[in-house]
Structure 1
């Protein structure tokens, strides 16, 4: 074997760079700019500045950056870390499962205890459902739903009944099918979305789109009439297959639909023999004050999708729960083809399922849903005080999810010019004060871990108040 003349090593060894860098010499921002393509990020800005926050560790509702600064995670990460960032029981559950069975698939009727036990546990807390299908993210779960709806109607010999309705400002994921269900223009632009057979009806935001003198109930009636008109125009019961909705629209701005909206929309869905798909990726597992948002808002789904808090986000996991009337049709078509030919390599991953099963135990043992009910009155009493802030036009939400919408003129609800980036500025100032929030345009979203205490709520909102005051001074200077 030949060697390098300078080092005496084999050529491949001489050229190889160490995979582990000297931590003392590590420049994380430069490394991130050089190698990482981050999701949902302005890539041109990232190429210049690198990460805006380098997170090193977490503890309870707090995270800490690479310099040791503490932040309250006012968004539970991405709406998902309901039990906080340091739940040792979940680490132990994952470790135990990794030592016992680190992976196995569920194709061809294979099974393992974590998936079996988790499916049973989920059905016990969602007794209207019959079966559970596992995936790895909300996007995968909602892609599954699109295919399932089409498969279901083909099985019933209804080849034209394929149109699925979502809403403007809805968020249902980012893959091809689920990204099409999403109703946010930036998620469609230049990705050639939405695909065929996906339609979007009106956004149910009373504050922003209700007409002068129109009550919430009248607004709900108008939205229902607009939806029914769209259904009729798209072929009615012969062609319209399903309607998908988050109980509370999350990434679209934390929008709680007006009174009577869901009753009126469900009546139309039933009238035209459509399936109701309940997207509980954010609202499930206690966020609104009940185990499911469907309970809080009196929704009766045929299919329910969940993710995020199912595993406290410690490992990727999602599920699609189907009512028996849907499942039996899938069985019939599977018999015809010899297989229900859909699934993912990681569907029902044993480690993720083991963690999720432990999450369900913690929710029950610690009465997490009751804890949410207990702290919600304090949360909203304090939140409502922001209605008097000069920048805040609306404070909205339900349970432990909320948004404050910043406006240029409180009386007329006039919005700021989008190019000014007022919401982004609030989030930036919040971060300097040790608080992580998320700006959805000029709406500031809050979704703290479900374990938050009243004292921590006070501290969270104190830091937010400082950020709003700083932004107000910045706006005045801009004017």
Structure 2
């Protein structure tokens, strides 16, 4: 069909029929509709106007091995020709689902040996909500139903996963959060520490979780969920003191610990998973995005042994699942994707090579910039804080809209960074070259110069 349609035809069809996620539909249409992306290769994408664009967001935090990987396309083709689909219901499985289950048990932290497949991070976190409540019922503690998470946490967009998250603008639509979901301060050092020693602040932020447990009563709290680094909340990197204290608190109060690794997993932090970077020993781990580098939809719930044993031995039939749980094509692509990461040493590269190099280049270009308050990163994820006054950390007026101004300048300069409140965030492919890092830093500087001029600073 698309061979007979011009790019203009496609944009008109999109404007007429496509409701985009996280979009003001009316505003998009009034602005002329969507930018049409037509091709990807390595760290670059192209639009229908022929612009070559450096994708410093790896799609949506997910294209870890870069665009245009023939290995992944070939894996999908071979599996489609062999068996395009069969379900995991009816006491059946497929070779890719079985093999991927074992591979995930191998590469995730010890104690996570069971896998439940879904299609997105949202579905995976919904699944965890079901499993947590089912688990505590089986353990004879039916009041342990509450969930605690952080302000600015992001865990998906279904009713339950939006409730898990701590995004007030999302809660404002759909009468959310649902009952039983609670939110505490995040370990947002730049915004909230107020000069406190970072390690002391990390412990303080963790103890906000303990205070909420005590307020609700430990007998009523089922689980705490957190991203090792909060991604969509603004790349909030916790002090090293934070997660050990969270681990202690959850163990002391018999609260299950969920590590949402949708963004942090599969090498982005310079470890296979953020839990390894911070020494987290979770009862559940949420996987998606980098599991296939975004090439096809797939997610997984890693279930800790103590929970899995109870669900298996005492739970009977688990009345939950999706038509596409363990889809053979998605699992085949995930296996090929993990093989690329292993073969090319992309996890170590993010930690030892391109991660530090990109951080250094951004600091060289931006540390003296009049509106840059902080540059923070871990592996290949980071943020650039934008402030009116570097000394006092005073923000520009506009309710956190400055990041969107800077983002729009980035788009016009053919580099993609994401605006979140008063910051630009980035998470480029793990294959980013040094030359591409140089270009990313140069274009970020140009875009921030233009933002500063808009704000009357330059």
Cα separation, partners in 2 of 1:275 and 1:472, compared to 1, 3 Å: same
CA shift, 1:51, in A, is 3.2
Point out the more displaced range, 322-331 or 22-31: 22-31
Structure 2's unaligned 5+ residue stretches are none
Is the contact between residue 262 and residue 298 of structure 1 (CA under 8 Å) also seen in structure 2? yes
Q: List per-residue Cα deviations over 1:212-236 (Å, max 9, x = no partner).
A: 4x21122123223332121111012
Structure 2 CA distance for aligned equivalents of residues 460 and 201 of structure 1: 35
Structure-2 residue corresponding to 1:93: 75
Give the 3 Å change call, closer, same or farther, for CA 24–445 of structure 1 in structure 2: closer
2:394 to 401, 405, 414: 414
Whether the 8 Å CA contact 2:400–2:421 is kept in 1: the answer is no
Q: Is the 8 A contact 1:173 1:182 kept in 2?
A: yes
Find the aligned partners of 1:25 and 1:260 in 2 and give their Cα distance. 52
Q: Tell me how far apart the structure 2 counterparts of residues 315 and 426 of structure 1 sit (CA, whole Å).
A: 30
Distance 1:172 1:333 in 2: 28
Answer yes or no: is 1:280 the counterpart of 2:261: yes
1:234 aligns with 2:212: no
- 1:288-327 correspondence runs (5 A): 288-327=269-308
Q: TM-score, normalised by structure 2?
A: 0.96
Q: Does 1:257 pair with 2:247?
A: no
CA distance in 2, matches of 1:146, 1:133: 13
**Structure 1 residue matching 2:232: 3-state secondary structure:** coil
Change in Cα spacing, 1:456 to 1:20, as seen in structure 2 (3 Å) is: closer
1:442-453 matched pairs, under 5 angstroms: 442-453=422-433
Distance 2:331 2:2 in 1: 32
- Pair 27,326 (structure 1): closer, same or farther in 2 beyond 3 Å: same
2:147 is matched with 164
The separation in 2 between residues aligned to 1:414 and 1:110, in whole angstroms, is 59
Aligned with 2:44 (options 62, 77, 89)? 62
2:29 aligned residue: 47
The answer on whether the counterparts of 1:33 and 1:48 sit within 8 Å (CA) in structure 2 is no
TM-score, structure 1 as length reference = 0.92
Query: Over residues 50-85 of structure 1, what are the superposed CA-to-partner deviations in whole Å (9 max), with x where a residue is unaligned?
Result: 434210111111000001110000000000001111
- Pick from 174, 194, 206: which aligns with 1:191? 174
Asked if the contact 1:205–1:258 (Cα under 8 Å) also holds between the matched residues in 2, the reply is no
Partner of 1:399: 379
1:74–1:435 contact (8 Å) kept in structure 2: yes
Cα distance between partner residues in 2 of 1:49 and 1:67: 16
Kept after mapping to 1: 8 A contact 2:15/2:34: no
Greater gyration radius: 1
Q: Judging changes above 3 Å, is the alpha-carbon distance between structure 1 residues 263 and 65 closer, same or farther for their aligned structure 2 residues?
A: same
Quick check: 1:248–1:283 contact (8 Å CA) kept in 2? yes
CA contact (8 A) 2:147 2:223 kept: yes
Deviation, structure 1 residue 35: 0.8
Deviation at 1:43, TM superposition (A): 1.6
Native 8 Å contact 1:30 1:50 kept in 2: no
Of the three residues 330, 344, 352, the one matched with 2:330 is 352
Q: Count the aligned residue pairs.
A: 455
Q: Structure 1 CA distance, aligned partners of 2:14 and 2:173?
A: 25
Name the counterpart of 1:149.
132
Q: Which runs of 5+ in 1 are unaligned?
A: 1-18
Deviations 1:299-335 (A, max 9, x none): 1111111100100111000000112111011113333
Within the candidate set 345, 358, 361, 1:379 is matched to: 358
Task: Report the equivalent of 1:13.
Answer: none
Q: For the residues of structure 2 that align with 1:431 and 1:228, how far apart are their CA atoms?
A: 42
